[in-house]
Structure 1
Amino acid sequence: MKLLAAGDLHDDHEGVRKLAEEAEKEGVDLVVINGDISNFGDLAKGMIKPFLDRNKKVAFVAGNHDVPGITEVLKEKYDILDIQNKSIIYDGVGIFGCGGANILHMNFTSDDDMFTYLSNGFRYVKAAKKKIMVTHIHPKGSMIEKFSFPGSEAVTRAIYELRPDIHICGHIHEMEGFEERMGNTRVICVGSRGKIIEV
């Protein structure tokens, strides 16, 4: 399976148009958006449709800049795949996610809740040969946090205990496109330019 993963778009309609074109050109099977598609109070108008216009299915978790309830609105309006504290199996790949961030902001999610959501989601997909964990916030103790805010202990714990093949995160704009390995997991901070990922 081939994915295009992106996040931290903050209402950048031109950026979304370019990503949708790339998704079509690359023939991706799924687009994964890991939060901050909007910017405080906006319901991401016009941010999903460019992908749908190119027949690309979108999976989504919210970020700390997205209003509470945005996932439900996008699901109802655009039939997105809701991986906000949930999981799916898509083309044989298990995908589980948790939105928000462990900082006091919109869509605050405590580390305890985050680990619970990720663990519950993992249980549903653990039989899948390949597993992808999607969060907005990055893991604590990662190289990603060295240049910015501390990450989430829950995400780090999930990486080491649940051992997904790939972890898609964002939040730290300065580390966009950065990859590292934590245990057996490939950790990718995707950012607004997006990243093509082969699973």
Structure 2
Amino acid sequence: MKILAVSDLHNDFRQVKKLAEQAEKENVNAVVICGDITYFDEYMDGMIGPFLKKNKQVLFIPGNHDSEATTDFITKKYGIKNLHGDSVTIGGVSIFGAGWTTNVGPTCISEKEMKKYLERGFEKSAEGKRIMITHIHPKGSRIEKKFKFPGSSSVAKAIYELKPDAHFCGHIHEAEGMEEFMGTTHVFSIGKHGRVIEV
């Protein structure tokens, strides 16, 4: 199972085209976007289409720059799956998640809500390998310690209690490429340049 994980594209149409070419070249099973597809409802045509033209399944969760209206529009227009409080299983691997953040932006949700959506997505997932997707990074992570930007306690708790095999997050642009283990979970900080990950 190969995934092209990407985050924080912020309407970078050129980068989307490059990533779509990469997805085709590396024959990934799915493209997973960890939030911030747009920048507060700016023109968004061209942000999803290039992946679909390459016949790639696209899954996403909204970030702090993606409004509810944008999220609904993208889901309906392109027929792609929003993993906020939901799950999809591909090739025996379940991918579930929760969007937005718990501490910044107009779409900010509470830690209690984040916990609820992550647990709901987990409950909908199948037995076997699991990947958890969020926009915000976990509290106590190397990302938080290095960049001094608070992570989510609910995301950290889900990592230790739900024990997904991997966790993908974005949000902190400068943290792109960082990775670590928290408990048994491999945590990846994803950015706009994307990363192909085999699970």
* Inter-partner Cα distance in structure 1 for 2:122 and 2:43: 28
Q: TM-score, normalised by structure 2?
A: 0.96
The answer as to whether partners of 1:43 and 1:70 remain within 8 angstroms in 2 is no
* Inter-partner Cα distance in structure 2 for 1:93 and 1:184: 17
Extract unaligned runs of 5+ from structure 1. Answer: none
Counterpart of 1:9 in structure 2: which amino acid? Answer: L
Q: Bigger shift: 176-185 or 103-112?
A: 103-112
Q: What corresponds to 1:167 in structure 2?
A: 167
Identity within the alignment, % = 53
Q: Provide the secondary structure at the position in 1 that maps to 2:107.
A: coil
Q: Please state if 1:61 is matched with 2:77.
A: no
Deviation at 1:86, TM superposition (A): 1.4
1:172–1:104 Cα change, 3 Å: closer
Deviation at 1:43, TM superposition (A): 5.5
Q: Bigger shift: 6-15 or 80-89?
A: 80-89
Q: What corresponds to 1:142 in structure 2?
A: 141
Q: Over residues 103-149 of structure 1, what are the superposed CA-to-partner deviations in whole Å (9 max), with x where a residue is unaligned? A: 24122111110011101111121x42100000000000000112141
RMSD: 1.1
* Inter-partner Cα distance in structure 1 for 2:80 and 2:122: 20
The answer as to whether partners of 1:148 and 1:172 remain within 8 angstroms in 2 is no
Deviation at 1:72, TM superposition (A): 2.0
The answer as to whether partners of 2:134 and 2:169 remain within 8 angstroms in 1 is yes
Q: What corresponds to 1:84 in structure 2?
A: 84
Q: Over residues 53-88 of structure 1, what are the superposed CA-to-partner deviations in whole Å (9 max), with x where a residue is unaligned? A: 111110010000112232221121111122022112
* Inter-partner Cα distance in structure 1 for 2:188 and 2:69: 26
The answer as to whether partners of 2:41 and 2:70 remain within 8 angstroms in 1 is no
The number of residue pairs the alignment matches comes to: 198
Q: Please state if 1:108 is matched with 2:108.
A: yes
Q: Which runs of 4+ in 1 moved over 6 A?
A: none
Alignment of 1:1-199 (within 5 A): 1-42=1-42, 44-125=44-125, 127-146=126-145, 147-199=147-199
Counterpart of 1:97 in structure 2: which amino acid? Answer: G
Q: TM-score, normalised by structure 1?
A: 0.96
Q: Over residues 175-199 of structure 1, what are the superposed CA-to-partner deviations in whole Å (9 max), with x where a residue is unaligned? A: 1011110000000011101111101
Q: Over residues 149-181 of structure 1, what are the superposed CA-to-partner deviations in whole Å (9 max), with x where a residue is unaligned? A: 110000000000000000000100111011110
